[in-house]
Structure 1
Amino acid sequence: MDNRRKRGEESSDDSPMYSRLFIVCEKGLTKEHFEDAFNKFGTIEDIRMPRDHNTGESKGIAYIKFSKTSEAANAMEEMNLKVLPNSNRPLKVMVAGNRSDIQTDDHDDEKYRRIFINVAKTATEDMLQEHFSEFGHVESILIQRDRNSGESRGFAYIRYRKFSEAACAFENCERKYRAIFALPKGHNKRPETSFEFNINNLATSSANMRTSVLSLMKTRPGNYTRVNFMCSPYINQKQVEKLFDIIPGMVVCQFYVDLVRNCGKGTVSFTNPVSAAYAVEKLDRFEYPPGSHILVRPDNTKFDPKDNNFTKLPNAVSNLKNAISATTNADSPDLAQLAEAIAEASKLIKMATAGVSDDMIPNSNDLNYCSVKLPPTQPLADVDSPVAKRCFLVCKPQPPPLTILRDVFCRFGNLINVYTLPNKTVGYARYATVEAADNAMKSLHGAEICGVRMKVLEAEDEAPAKRMRYD
């Protein structure tokens, strides 16, 4: 009786798991040869032998799909390294993950011999041994338990000596166990992003630093205890504090947003020069938030952490508001009082932000305004100039200010206009010459503008304006 099903009666998807075999063979073998040799192991659902598209010759590989995992397991264990009639080359039989997958794992790999089961919290290893040894030689049973209480977590792993034994248990154990093949450790773990790797590496390094500060003082001498930083304007004081607090010894963090250059600036003070030097070493050019970078530089000016002028600013602002209000409502305004309030507020702002000036941090054009070197500013093209080429802009998580975009994109000459779509992260830059648009794309694609990573691509041609129809 022919045990092979017609191709199309049933889906040839790999269900159940590991029921498809991948075979390396001699090119002269045919489907009939495989059907005759493998038919005895069970129901063959599909045999596929890929061929070269140009010559039509067999590639020397074959896929055989069985109806059960145990059938595929028995066939693999029996036929691996066997020589078929009319052939001089032994077969290499392996498990294939799906119709086109080629597994290079050895046929006795642990992932084919280990099953995952759900168990009652009262179940013991002896109880599981008694039931699952019916299907083959059990090498180990591991019930997952809580580390603190030792109580079962409700699932277990059972490892067999052979793939066929695990497959038999997978198919025939009591349904309450809901058995499946266990994936290898780490198989379904999400890959770690570069940002996660950097932050984890930083945290680990800083944790090690806490235990070896004295040794680091010998290797990282420094004569400063405060650092200046510049960062994206889209993060807040709390986030900056959490980042710098990874470095041991942080005393105070001052942060404000430079509205003129649209970037964040501040200072961080540490209890010792080792920590300050370590902050510069580890956090300078660190990617935070993802897609932007933070710039950290030493501050060699003297600073008393207790003298925090930021705490005095609210009182100065309050005094200034009261002076303005009194001057507005009074018949004879006290201009001297108003001038004194303005002078006090200006003085405190200057003192509070001392140490984070552009003299101590490289020009913000180098980091937050634009991460690439820009040519000089050039005048805009006439607004009615014909559009030679458009650039498509993608700016996530949000577009920079239009004034900044205009200043950046006009530097390549012949810019007609640049704009972003309302409530979108995309926009367009329209140029009067192809050369100017090409230069903008070449220089700005992948650059950071105000801490925002930009994509600058060639846009499709604009559709011609529809003519108004008159009756």
Structure 2
Amino acid sequence: MDYRRKRKEESSDDNPAYSRLFVVCERVLTETNIRDAFSKFGELEDVKMPRDRHSGFPKGIAYVKFSKTSEAAAALEAMNLRVLPDSTRPLKVMVACNRSDIQSDDEDNDKYRRVFINIPKTTTENELDEHFKEFGKIISIQIQRDRDTGESKGFAYIKYKKFSDAACAIENCDKIYRAIFAQPRGYYSRRQETSYEAKLNDLANTSTNVRTSLLSMMNTRPEGYKRVHFMCAPYLAYHQVNSLFDLIPGMVHCDFFVDLIHNFGKGIVLYSNPISAAYAVEKLNKLEYPPGVRIFVKPDHSKFDVTHEQSFATMPNVVNKLRNAITETSSSSTPDLAKLAEAIAEASKLIKLATQGVLEEKIPDSSDLSYCSVKLPPPKPLADIDSPVAKRCFLVSKPRPPPFTVLRDVFCRFGDLINVYTLPNKTVGYARYASIQAADDAIKALHGAEICGVRMKVIEAEEEQPHKRMRYD
């Protein structure tokens, strides 16, 4: 079977819903033991017991797929916490919506006991009770009604005492009701605000309220600087960065550009007063912007304080000065080369400011901006590219991987690194080492670390499969 097709089938929803069970059991049990124990509850479509790919021993879990949800429900209620003859520990039986999404809820959860039905608007609770009580004990019947008129909306919820009762009702009730399992309460409600959104919204709400903003900033201690420099994701646009720092009252100007060599954005923001600058560092440093990638904001204590507006205001004078110096040099038999060089240098400085957006002495040093959140050993030379691979590390970095040069510098510090790479347009990659010890050291140190603000997952990768030979006819 094609691998992609197999993965797709394993992750697809089961039909009917909740008809697959997830069983935690002892490793001594076999597929035959599980099949014999569960087959008495109904028709088994599939029984799987995953094995460890290295040792080949069972993992101690099983997936049991029934043809009907009512059969799975009956098996869950009867087999959960039961000890099989060849075992010493009780089984833990749960519903598995699909093979990649194991549900830890048990049969007492409303999710498996509430039934959603469509009804004629003239239907009463007594009529529903008369029809649905034959499938099991009913806890409650709720016909949804209009709050103002009291008229039925045409649907209702029926809650049963047991999962198996609800399943039987769905399978056997009159088809006009189109019964299905109801979604959990609050399923369609507004999702919970993330920490990133909470921080940004709080900052935005504070900034729009001038009084609240000033009171909050008064508690911030100024440190004598009015500029801050920052490092951020390279794919942010200028207007996004400008809007973020403009949330802090008192922003005068924002310079921003992308370092194409090291693949990150950086720049400087000028505020009108030291309190605003210190407040920006306090509120924006290590903020996830965009979510999953942090922006680092640090004070700029340099003395240079020229803004774009001030520089561009002097542009006509600089142009005239350069034009006059060129004219005098070309018409004089003894040209003043020093004056010409001074005019060229001043014009070059303004050209660099206009094209790059920030002067060279204003560019922050990346070594000051949390290059890596863990302490790293000194760099070590790379292993020979033809060295045999002893072990590989699997890398996961969301939402985007750090720059390649940064990854290579970080992972080479554990020695014997052959190469490190990420897959095109993916958030995963591999680091290949010539020694097992080096790979283990990298996993131990870097798993969970942040590199350039990106949280990394570094785990042991599967053994590299040999390349298949191409067949030529």
Query: Normalising TM by the smaller chain, what interval?
Result: 0.5 to 0.7
8 A contact 2:234–2:264 mirrored in 1: yes
2:270 paired residue number: 269
| 2:392 corresponds to which of 382, 390, 393 | 390
- The aligned runs of 1:247-258 (5 Å cut-off) are 247-258=248-259
Q: Rate the CA distance shift 1:355–1:213 in 2: closer, same or farther, 3 A.
A: farther
8 A contact 2:226–2:271 mirrored in 1: yes
CA distance in 2, matches of 1:239, 1:67: 45
Q: Rate the CA distance shift 1:423–1:260 in 2: closer, same or farther, 3 A.
A: closer
| 2:82 corresponds to which of 35, 48, 53 | 53
- The aligned runs of 1:293-304 (5 Å cut-off) are 293-300=294-301, 301=303, 303=305
- The aligned runs of 1:228-239 (5 Å cut-off) are 228-239=229-240
- 1:430 equivalent in alignment to 2:444: no
Deviation, 1:282, is 1.0
| 1:442 corresponds to which of 437, 441, 444 | 444
8 A contact 2:294–2:454 mirrored in 1: no
1:194 paired residue number: 195
SS in structure 2 of the partner of residue 200 of structure 1: helix
- Paired AA for residue 384 in structure 1: D
Deviation, 1:338, is 10
Q: Rate the CA distance shift 1:291–1:182 in 2: closer, same or farther, 3 A.
A: closer
SS in structure 2 of the partner of residue 380 of structure 1: coil
2:96 paired residue number: none
SS in structure 1 of the partner of residue 464 of structure 2: coil
1:281 paired residue number: 282
- Paired AA for residue 359 in structure 2: T
2:292 paired residue number: 291
Q: Deviations over 1:381-413 (max 9, x none)?
A: 122221110112234444444333222211110
8 A contact 1:395–1:425 mirrored in 2: yes
- The aligned runs of 1:114-129 (5 Å cut-off) are 115=144, 125=148, 128=149
Q: Rate the CA distance shift 1:392–1:277 in 2: closer, same or farther, 3 A.
A: same
CA distance in 1, matches of 2:410, 2:455: 14
Q: Rate the CA distance shift 1:337–1:273 in 2: closer, same or farther, 3 A.
A: closer
- Paired AA for residue 144 in structure 2: I
1:219 paired residue number: 219
CA distance in 1, matches of 2:388, 2:465: 13
Deviation, 1:192, is 2.3
SS in structure 2 of the partner of residue 212 of structure 1: helix
- Paired AA for residue 414 in structure 2: F
CA distance in 2, matches of 1:217, 1:397: 32
Q: Deviations over 1:262-306 (max 9, x none)?
A: 332222223344333322221111111222212223345473657
CA distance in 2, matches of 1:186, 1:451: 33
Deviation, 1:449, is 3.3
Q: Deviations over 1:321-348 (max 9, x none)?
A: xxxxxxxxxxxxxx99996687346534
1:343 paired residue number: 345
8 A contact 1:265–1:356 mirrored in 2: no
Q: Rate the CA distance shift 1:64–1:192 in 2: closer, same or farther, 3 A.
A: closer
2:464 paired residue number: 462
8 A contact 2:418–2:432 mirrored in 1: yes
8 A contact 1:262–1:369 mirrored in 2: no
8 A contact 1:228–1:355 mirrored in 2: no
CA distance in 2, matches of 1:422, 1:282: 35
CA distance in 2, matches of 1:202, 1:295: 17
- Paired AA for residue 78 in structure 2: P
Backbone CA RMSD of aligned residues? 5.3
2:21 paired residue number: none
- Paired AA for residue 219 in structure 1: N
2:359 paired residue number: 353
Deviation, 1:433, is 0.5
Q: TM-score, normalised by structure 1?
A: 0.55
Deviation, 1:373, is 2.6
- Paired AA for residue 54 in structure 1: V
8 A contact 1:309–1:352 mirrored in 2: no
CA distance in 2, matches of 1:296, 1:64: 51
CA distance in 1, matches of 2:390, 2:203: 48
Deviation, 1:462, is 1.5
8 A contact 2:391–2:434 mirrored in 1: yes
Count the aligned residue pairs: 337
CA distance in 2, matches of 1:422, 1:182: 38
Q: Rate the CA distance shift 1:467–1:249 in 2: closer, same or farther, 3 A.
A: closer
Q: Deviations over 1:102-133 (max 9, x none)?
A: xxxxx6xxxx656255xxxxxx95xx35x66x
- Paired AA for residue 297 in structure 2: V
SS in structure 1 of the partner of residue 466 of structure 2: coil
8 A contact 2:393–2:432 mirrored in 1: yes
- Paired AA for residue 212 in structure 1: T
Deviation, 1:72, is 10
Q: 5+ unaligned residues in a row in structure 1: which ranges?
A: 1-10, 15-44, 79-92, 96-106, 118-123, 133-155, 164-174, 176-180, 321-334
Q: 5+ unaligned residues in a row in structure 2: which ranges?
A: 1-14, 19-69, 94-106, 120-124, 160-175, 177-181, 323-336
CA distance in 2, matches of 1:298, 1:442: 33
Task: Give the fraction of aligned pairs with identical amino acids, expressed as a percent.
Answer: 51
